[in-house]
Structures are given as C-alpha cells and as structure tokens.
Amino acid sequence: MLKKLLGIAPTPTEDGAFAPSRLALKLATSTKTDYDGGAYLNPYTGGKHRVLVVLTEERNMTMANGKKFSTGNHPVEMALPMLHLQAAGFELDIVTPTGAPAAIEMWAMPKEDAAVTKLFDYCADAIKKPGSLADFAVNSLINDTPHVGVFIPGGHGAMLGLPENKDLGKVLCWAHGKDIRIITLCHGPGTLMSARGSGNFIFDGYKIALFPDSVDKQTPMVGYLPGHMPYELGEKLRKLGLTIVNKKADDTCHIDRNLITGASPMASNNLGRLAAESLLEAVR
C-alpha cells in the first residue's frame, strides 16, 4: 500500500506481469524524443541496399523473484535509429524469430513525438506481420546480398530468446564475415551471445556500449522492474571477452570494426546518425 501511495509499485498488466511504476515512467520515459530530424546532405539513392531489423516477439521476462516484467522492443531505441536509416536512403526489412508479431513496450511510447508516431504508423503492418528470421537464415545469407546492415534494438525483451537463437547466430556470423554493419543498443548487445562461429564467440576482444548492470540493480527500488534481473548481462558479456566502455546509462556510442553500439535509450539518436553515416560510407 505504501509503495502504491508513493507511486513506486510496479503496475499490474492483464496477463499477470508488471509494467513500470508511475514514478519510474516519469523518471525514465518522455512524451517526446531528441530526434534531430535525420537530414543527410548526400543520402543513398540507389534503391538497392537494405537493413535487416531483428525484433523480439517475446513479451514477459521472469525476474529473479519469479515476477514477470512486461517488456519487448523499446520504441525509442527502435524508432530513432530506423528513422535515421530511412532518412539516409536505406530500406528496412523487419523480422522476428518465427514471424510472430513484434512485442513493443507501449508504456515507453513517446506519444507526442510526430516523427516516431509516423514511423510506427508506417511500419504497423510489418510489426504485426513481420518476416521470419528463420526463413532469412535459410534463404538470404547470400554473397550478392542487398543487406548492408543488421539492426537489433534494445528493451529488456532483446534478452528473451534472441541471445540463444541459432538463426540469429547464423545471421550475425554471416554479417560479421562480410563486414556488414551490426547495430544494437542498451540491452540489445546481449543478442551478440548468439554468435558463436565454429564454437568460438566471434566478438571476443570487441569493445561495446551497454546498459550497465549497476543501473539494472537500482531500478527495482523505484518500481521500474518488479524484481532483480535474472542474470547480469554485462557480466556475462565480459566473460565472453567483451569490454564495456561506459559506466552510466547515457548517450555513449561506440564503433569497433563493424559493430556499432549504444548505452541506453538516451543514445538512440546518436546511434542512429552514427549507423546511417557508417552505412553511407560503406556503400560508397
């Protein structure tokens, strides 16, 4: 009762999970974003090159205490990089592991942001009926590929199934071998754990930006999460040989070879511009 009065009690959902508390939403979300408009002096105009957008189709994360967190793809982390990639002239192909509808953290939607609203309206059918990552892994890992990038947004939902997904592992190993840009942020870098080429982790020795474990440990105190994380993502990635360059959940972005990462939702705009500029450089 006291937590409810203080606004720090996680909000129950219809399926028995919990969304963030009222206080957590005030602290961690906004009705508008810092999207800078995505103008590019020399956007790509060839009409050929595309970016594969891999979204999670899973909704609820079971926390260490057994309670479920209602998650999915974070809409800001998803939308702002996509807006930049579109503005730079690239087409987007949206997939989920099986082709099931993508799960979106609607509680984090910036409802007064016209650019984000327009993007979600434009992509509504693709979000409801995406392509299948499994089909892509079977049919589209070709030498003469139109795809110049793979983008995986964050949201805690990125940790559900994707880090163990063999099809995603095949796609990432293929992209890595062809020097295709791999773009991800916040909790999204956890999906890199799927990439084990011939038993070896292909990103061993890379540096990344990532949402800090230390912040995830604090969020239950304000009701953002209904319990502590099932595991420490950063610690797992360090054990695989990755180095995390940031200590705060800020706008840090980092490029290491073909891997482009961002630290938190605050990095979404910067990551989008960095990724778009990197892809423009690659196609030229």
Q: Active-site positions?
A: 186
Q: Are 159 and 63 in contact (CB under 8 A)?
A: no
Query: Which residues have CB under 8 Å from 112's CB, separation 6+?
Result: 31, 32
Q: What sign does the CA torsion over 154, 159, 160, 162 have?
A: positive
Give Cα 276 to chain centroid, integer Å.
16
Structure tokens at 246: 């940031």
User: How many residues in the chain?
Assistant: 284
Strand partners, 207: 243
Q: Are 264 and 249 in contact (CB under 8 A)?
A: yes
Query: Which residues have CB under 8 Å from 217's CB, separation 6+?
Result: 228, 229
Q: At what angle do helices 75-87 and 114-122 cross, to 10 degrees?
A: 80
Written as one string, the DSSP assignment of 21-64 is PHHHHHHH--SS--------SS---SS--EEEEE-----EEE-T
Q: How far is CA 226 from CA 18, 82, 218, in A?
A: 6, 30, 11
Query: Which residues have CB under 8 Å from 211's CB, separation 6+?
Result: 154, 186, 187, 233, 249, 263, 264
Amino acid at 277: E
